[in-house]
Amino acid sequence: MKTFEELQLKTPLKNGLDDLGFQTMTPIQEEAFPAILSGRDMIGIAQTGTGKTLGYMLPLLHELKYSESPDPRILVLVPTRELVVQVVEQIDAYAKYINVRILGIYGGVNINTQKRELGEGCDIVVATPGRLYDLIIAQSVKLKFCKKIVIDEVDVMLDLGFRFQLNNIFDHLPSKRQNVMFSATMTDDIEEFIVAYFFNPLKVSIAVSGTPLENIEQSSYPVENFYTKANLLMHLLSDKEEYSKVVVFVPNKKSADRLQEVMAPHYGKEIAVIHSNKTQNYRLRSIELFDSGQCRILIATDVMARGLDLSKVSHVINMDVPRYAENYMHRIGRTGRAEEKGKSILFFTEQEATLKKDIEDLMDRKIDVIDFPEVVEVSSQKTPEESPIKREHHNPHAVIEDERGDSFHEKKDKNKKENLGGSYRREIAKKYKKPKTRGDKNYNKRNKK
């Protein structure tokens, strides 16, 4: 591995890295530095936790020159607010001895404050696509001098539906620019985006999507339902020495709140929760408490924890099997970071066994199965999603007859009569010999007798 000394960085940048104790480069950093420094468009495929942020910021900071221009010259796009805060903090640390202005832009806070900060000038903008697009529409940010563009976790951005905002942001950028993209996966949507906006990009692939990180020990438990999973989770977490810092992944916001409710009586202050329904301050506070060690359990959804640099996570526990096998790789990437050892545990039901097989096929590796502990209570309680729903085969809205309730009844006799066209045709016309065809006078004269 190369050392940062070999790069011959400018002294202020080198001093910043020395303060952080960085000596040797990770593979993605080693590959990305010359590629980005060359000025070519670049696409980096690397697993989370491999030092991507320093990988793209190091060459950009190395060649960034002093400028008094108020308009940004480097744009970094990330999918979530938490990532904006994290990336800004990291760049601040790298550029500690460099005179550079860095600004984080994200939703959930007063947009007028951000307009004022942009007006005061900045060199590097780190932003979420949604809020940056709002500021472009408001003509509060000018990107005409922005010649270096980085899109990090682009697959998450597209999953979150930011394609429209990304297209419009790129339409406002200068035609001559360098595009840098990082992603853990390569999908058809990403390929389309590359074709539309990248010019002859250099591809750097460090770890193929689905390749398990060798320093993560993986295991799994067969479990019947959600509440039994919660019981097993609490049983495992009772060993505080072994499970010293744990990220627990759940499939959605409802499951996160439900799990917190079940665990709160036993692990109240040890739990932090992060999902998109929480306020911005709550989410940032949860990350701060967990990362500092004040909370040892973080309950998170996939999107919220994606890309977060959480240090020294001992375990990742998956309460469900992700529908897409690639997401499992993103989850377990929260542990075993920076070449440390980590452990991942997967809870799966009988219905989720097929999804588990998909993950194993993607990794080309079996996940060890551990017998369910006898001391853990098997709960008969089921979530609304797990409860069976009775439906007719061809009618999803119909119910079984004996379940219809009192509001359903048979028709009364008067409502069973056949509709013969109304009383005029049946009774009045016969009694008063009214014309059958109102407009035919000759017909009426012939039949008047």
Cα torsion through 132, 138, 144, 145, rounded to 10: -60
Residue matched to tokens 């760049």: 91
Of 178, 174, 198, 169, nearest to 186 by C-alpha is 198
Mean pLDDT, rounded, for 157-169: 88
Q: Give the Cα separation of 47 and 28 in Å (integer).
A: 9
Give the tens place of pLDDT for each residue, 289-298: 998 889 999 9
Say whether pLDDT at 134 is over 70: yes
Q: Residue length, the chain?
A: 449
Residue matched to tokens 């999107």: 303
Say whether pLDDT at 249 is over 60: yes
Lowest mean pLDDT among 260-269, 284-293, 333-342: 333-342
Give the tens place of pLDDT for each residue, 263-276: 999 998 999 998 87
pTM over 0.85: no
C-alpha to C-alpha distances, 34 to 49, 58, 77, 98, 323, nearest whole angstrom: 21, 10, 21, 21, 37
pLDDT score of 403? 47
pLDDT score of 417? 65
Query: Which structure tokens are listed for 323?
Result: 């529908």
Say whether pLDDT at 206 is over 80: no
Give the tens place of pLDDT for each residue, 80-109: 888 999 999 999 999 999 999 999 999 888
C-alpha to C-alpha distances, 206 to 29, 185, 188, 234, 308, nearest whole angstrom: 10, 12, 20, 37, 19
- pLDDT category at 215 given cuts 50, 70, 90 is confident
Give the tens place of pLDDT for each residue, 27-59: 889 999 999 999 999 998 876 667 889 999 999
SS3 string of the chain?
Answer: CCEHHHHCCCHHHHHHHHHHCCCECCHHHHHHHHHHHCCCCEEEECCCCCCHHHHHHHHHHHHCCCCCCCCCCEEEECCCHHHHHHHHHHHHHHCCCCCCCEEEECCCCCHHHHHHHHHCCCCEEEECHHHHHHHHHCCCCCCCCCCEEEEECHHHHHHCCCHHHHHHHHHCCCCCCEEEEEECCCCHHHHHHHHHHCCCCEEEECCCCCCCCCCEEEEEEECCCHHHHHHHHHHHHCCCCCCCCEEEECCCHHHHHHHHHHHHHHHHHHEEEECCCCCHHHHHHHHHHHHHCCCCEEEECHHHHCCCCCCCCCEEEECCCCCCHHHHHHHHCCCCHHHCCEEEEEEECCCCHHHHHHHHHHHCCCCEECCCCCCCCCCCCCCCCCCCCCCCCCCCCCCCHHHCCCCCCCCCHHHHCCCCCCHHHHHHHHHHCCCCCCCCHHHHHHCCC
Average pLDDT score over the chain: 85
What region, left, alpha or beta, does residue 318 occupy, with left being phi > 0 and alpha being psi -120 to 50 degrees?
A: beta
Q: What angle do CA 237, 242, 246 make, to 5 degrees?
A: 55
Cβ distance 14 to 97 under 8 Å? no
Burial class of 368 by CB neighbour count within 10 A (0 to 12, 13 to 18, 19+): exposed
Give the tens place of pLDDT for each residue, 319-332: 999 987 878 888 88
pLDDT score of 335? 86
Q: Give the Cα separation of 332 and 314 in Å (integer).
A: 11
Mean pLDDT, rounded, for 77-81: 91
Give the tens place of pLDDT for each residue, 216-228: 899 999 999 999 9
- pLDDT category at 404 given cuts 50, 70, 90 is very low
Say whether pLDDT at 252 is over 50: yes
Mean pLDDT, rounded, for 6-18: 92
Dihedrals phi, psi of 70, to nearest 5 degrees: -75, -15
What is the identity of the amino acid at 86? Answer: Q
pLDDT score of 416? 66
pLDDT score of 411? 66
Give the chain's domains with CATH numbers.
Answer: 4-205 (3.40.50.300), 216-369 (3.40.50.300), 416-446 (no CATH)
Say whether pLDDT at 407 is over 80: no
Query: Which structure tokens are listed for 6?
Result: 């070999």
